[in-house]
Structure 1
Amino acid sequence: MTNQANGSRRMPAGLVALTLGSFGIGLTEFVIAGLLPQVSRSLAVSEAAAGWLISGYALSVAVGAIVVTAATSGLSRKSVLVGLVALFVAGNLLSAVASGYPVMLLGRVVAALCHGSFFGIGSLVARRMVPPERASRAVAVMFAGLTLANVLGVPFGALVGERWGWRATFWAITAIGVLALIAIAALVPGWAGAVDRTHPSAASGLNGLRVQLRAFRSAQVWLTLAATALGYGGMFGAFSYIAYTFTRVTGFSSADVAWLLVVYGSGLVIGNLAGGRAADGDRDRTLIVSLAGLTVTLIAFGLLAGSPVASVVLVFLLGFFGFAGVPGMITRVTDYANGVPLAASANVSASNVGNALGAWLGGLAISAGLGYTAPLYAGAAIVLAGLAVMAVSARRAPAQAADLDDAGLSPDATPTT
């Protein structure tokens, strides 16, 4: 049966359910930053060991995005999403009841395993629920949950943790996960989450995996993944040390950092939604403009970091341009991969690899004595490399379209049931 996406301008209820799921998963990722001191004291571990609750989560996201998606390739995408949210609930429940550090770390790893696959598979399901010309906007709406979690996650965790203890925060996230699970099971339509059984990637076992891996023969897939990694890496490499820039260079107090992060998060939310709408009009141009805007923002931030007013404006633009390309990158990589879920999940892995690379290079720049604006310039250089990759990819795309059609990897292909 052919997928008939709803032509109405109303947001599908199933898309709202996916957004709730992305909000809960985003909270799990970001909330721990405001709880580390409490968790460290409660579980009697060092700050460095507590830090693994963040880095261990990120590494598990990168690995889980590929492994879990590959392992579930032949299953109904709606069923997989429900299972992933159940995994998310189990992980946060483990964290809430953890009697010691090993159980807490295990809970973080279990919750992280669902992260990449949820956003990868969820983005494919989200775009099925709307007409093709609104695909990037649908992905942006789903990712709005993640961006809102970025804005609210740290203050939410700090507030609940301060009043009722850090375990209460994980109990609250577990409850959000249960609500998301019920909503996805009830509201995501079966046709949007079904798998095209005539498509070779729906085969079980090694055959289905081989078909999914075959999509990575496309140079456009690899170029898009590289642009994603470099774009994310440059932004988050700079953002990782932004508190030091604000307090050591701009002159803000430590207490000011919280509201400055809300300004940054607001930029993420608005940029994500604006970028999704723009990408539905001209995707490659939107991606090039967002990467160019991010490069200019980072350079300007480095030059004007001593000005409080300029810093507030620029941290908003950092979030805006940093997330404006996210919906377009996801729809681009999945289109050139003929809609296979592994490509969408690989995009999430690429962003996490980029985050690690950017933070590492930013730290090296500070260690080299280049000052607390150095991560901004390092980030600009990384994003500039991503802009070059995206420009090459966009230039090659029209000439490569015929080759993709011959290989069964048309960039305009969308999954059908």
Structure 2
Amino acid sequence: MPLPLYLLALAVFAMGTSEFMLVGLLPDIAAEFDVTVGTAGLLTSAFAIGMIVGAPLVAALARDWPGRSSLLTFVLAFAAAHAVGAVTSSFPVLFATRVVAALANAGFLAVALTAAATLVPPDRKGRALAVLLSGTTTATIAGVPGGSMLGTLLGWRATFWAVAALCLPAALGILKGMPTGRVREVATGGPALRTELAQLTRPRLILVMLLGALINAATFASFTFLALVVTGTAGLDAWWISVVLVLFGAGSFVGVTVAGRLSDRRPGLVVAVGGPLLLLGWPALAVLAIEPVALFVLVFVQGALSFALGSTLITRVLYEAAGAPTMAGSYATAALNVGAAAGPLIAAATLDTAAGNLGPLWTSGLLVAVGLLIMCPLRTVITAGRSVDVVE
């Protein structure tokens, strides 16, 4: 894999740390701003909503920009949003900074996904996506638990400053390592924006975007509220939140790595094996979460299965959107974050029910079930090794 791809992954690490770090900080943020944990959880949805809106919008605006300049601008804007969030005393302002950061993240990821696809041969998009997403999975292994520990020691604001600082070496790496004009070359030599947007009328593309959104919704429904399961259901000390997040992140890294080697040629295998296991795993976790050992094992397994299945479906989005070379990344980003926005919203509504802290886990199981029910009669769309558009 080319070096610029790993530089993009470094920036994705900083942004992934920000996107996921609130999982371990929600109780502290809720206490400081005098809101419920469910309301604080809306900060995760705000980030996701900003990415849903921002991905296609910013990608359309940036399609004629030099790739390196646009990526650098997005990273610096992301850092600035976190600096403001670190000093605000207003929950609405903090909410707004999450939206702004999400817009910057959306623009970056949309351009980065497109750039990643152009840096490798056409039949290696899955491998390239795995490298790029390794920044996200590494964030869940190191960045998010580290942020949780930093928040425990110095307060949640310190984590916002840390993310802003992480953006600086990422910006330097992009400035020094990314070739100029990559995105611009694709845009000027490819189809018109109207033609690329017309790809969204293709049923196959809409289907894989919907499936990707459902699986990601299931992932975020539980991931956002894992801290409550650790300290409430399992009765563990707050320090164990970081351990659980590391396990989930380690699992996600394994899942993305394995799926990255299969999603180009054997996506059906990932779906056929991973889908049913993921479906069984969420209710199993809900039932066994009271036992710490079972909690640790199942969190790792669910992290691996969630990211293996999710990354495979998002790779299918890139294949099915091959006719939209500068917008395909934004379609994949939007699909991911429709799920990331919807999952916590649905899960938060279950916290005040009889299910309590386990409500998000049951929600995840239901969302996976819906996805598999849709997927089963239409599995040929997923099991095809490559899109017809790519073959042609």
TM > 0.5 between the two? yes
Q: Which residue of 2 aligns with 1:153?
A: 143
2:263 to 270, 279, 284: 279
Deviation at 1:366, TM superposition (A): 4.7
Q: Which residue of 2 aligns with 1:47?
A: 35
> How far apart, in 2, do the equivalents of 1:40 and 1:326 lie?
30
CA RMSD of aligned residues (A): 3.1
Matched, 1:195 2:174: no
Q: Is the Cα–Cα contact under 8 Å of residues 220 and 393 in structure 1 kept in the other structure?
A: no
Rate the CA distance shift 1:327–1:375 in 2: closer, same or farther, 3 A. closer
Q: Which residue of 2 aligns with 1:350?
A: 335
SS of residue in 1 equivalent to 2:188 = coil
Written as runs of structure 1 = structure 2, the 5 A alignment for 1:128-207 is: 128-161=118-151, 166-190=156-180, 192-193=182-183, 194-201=185-192
Rate the CA distance shift 1:83–1:288 in 2: closer, same or farther, 3 A. farther
Q: Which residue of 2 aligns with 1:390?
A: 375
Q: Is the Cα–Cα contact under 8 Å of residues 288 and 391 in structure 1 kept in the other structure?
A: no
Q: Which consecutive unaligned segments of at least 5 residues does structure 2 have?
A: none
Q: Is the Cα–Cα contact under 8 Å of residues 220 and 397 in structure 1 kept in the other structure?
A: no
Amino acid corresponding to residue 203 of structure 2 in structure 1: A
Amino acid corresponding to residue 300 of structure 1 in structure 2: A
SS of residue in 2 equivalent to 1:172 = helix
Q: Is the Cα–Cα contact under 8 Å of residues 13 and 135 in structure 2 kept in the other structure?
A: yes
Q: Which residue of 2 aligns with 1:324?
A: 308
Matched, 1:234 2:218: yes
Q: Which residue of 1 aligns with 2:283?
A: 299
Matched, 1:57 2:57: no
Deviation at 1:37, TM superposition (A): 6.4
Q: Which residue of 1 aligns with 2:12?
A: 22
Matched, 1:223 2:223: no
Rate the CA distance shift 1:40–1:223 in 2: closer, same or farther, 3 A. closer
TM-score, structure 2 as length reference: 0.85
User: Kindly, what percent of the aligned residue pairs are identical?
Assistant: 32
SS of residue in 2 equivalent to 1:200 = coil
1:80 to 61, 70, 74: 70
SS of residue in 2 equivalent to 1:195 = helix
Q: Is the Cα–Cα contact under 8 Å of residues 45 and 344 in structure 2 kept in the other structure?
A: no
Q: Is the Cα–Cα contact under 8 Å of residues 231 and 291 in structure 1 kept in the other structure?
A: no
Q: Is the Cα–Cα contact under 8 Å of residues 334 and 341 in structure 1 kept in the other structure?
A: no
Rate the CA distance shift 1:255–1:27 in 2: closer, same or farther, 3 A. closer
Rate the CA distance shift 1:32–1:381 in 2: closer, same or farther, 3 A. closer
Deviation at 1:235, TM superposition (A): 2.4
Deviation at 1:220, TM superposition (A): 1.0
Q: Which residue of 2 aligns with 1:5?
A: none
**1:1-58 C-alpha deviation (Å, 9 max, x unpaired):** xxxxxxxxxx3210111011101111222334545566678xx742357655444323
Q: Is the Cα–Cα contact under 8 Å of residues 234 and 378 in structure 1 kept in the other structure?
A: yes
Rate the CA distance shift 1:364–1:144 in 2: closer, same or farther, 3 A. same
Relative contact order: is structure 1 or structure 2 higher (C-alpha 8 Å, sep ≥ 6)? 2
Rate the CA distance shift 1:241–1:160 in 2: closer, same or farther, 3 A. closer
Rate the CA distance shift 1:239–1:327 in 2: closer, same or farther, 3 A. closer
Q: Which residue of 2 aligns with 1:378?
A: 363
> How far apart, in 2, do the equivalents of 1:361 and 1:96 lie?
28
SS of residue in 1 equivalent to 2:257 = helix
> How far apart, in 2, do the equivalents of 1:388 and 1:291 lie?
11
1:211 to 195, 212, 225: 195
Q: Is the Cα–Cα contact under 8 Å of residues 90 and 107 in structure 1 kept in the other structure?
A: no
Structure 1, 323-332 or 244-253: larger mean CA deviation: 244-253
Q: Which residue of 1 aligns with 2:61?
A: 71
Rate the CA distance shift 1:328–1:117 in 2: closer, same or farther, 3 A. farther
> How far apart, in 2, do the equivalents of 1:273 and 1:341 lie?
25
1:90 to 73, 76, 80: 80
> How far apart, in 2, do the equivalents of 1:65 and 1:280 lie?
24
> How far apart, in 2, do the equivalents of 1:35 and 1:398 lie?
39
SS of residue in 2 equivalent to 1:325 = helix
Structure 1, 60-69 or 126-135: larger mean CA deviation: 126-135
Q: Which residue of 1 aligns with 2:113?
A: 123
Q: Is the Cα–Cα contact under 8 Å of residues 149 and 239 in structure 2 kept in the other structure?
A: no
2:344 to 331, 349, 359: 359
Rate the CA distance shift 1:362–1:281 in 2: closer, same or farther, 3 A. same
Rate the CA distance shift 1:327–1:235 in 2: closer, same or farther, 3 A. closer
Equivalent residue pairs, number: 387
Q: Is the Cα–Cα contact under 8 Å of residues 267 and 382 in structure 2 kept in the other structure?
A: no
> How far apart, in 2, do the equivalents of 1:61 and 1:127 lie?
20
Rate the CA distance shift 1:398–1:326 in 2: closer, same or farther, 3 A. closer
Rate the CA distance shift 1:362–1:188 in 2: closer, same or farther, 3 A. same
Structure 1, 98-107 or 116-125: larger mean CA deviation: 98-107
> How far apart, in 2, do the equivalents of 1:114 and 1:378 lie?
30
Q: Which residue of 2 aligns with 1:259?
A: 243
TM-score, structure 1 as length reference: 0.81
Deviation at 1:227, TM superposition (A): 0.5
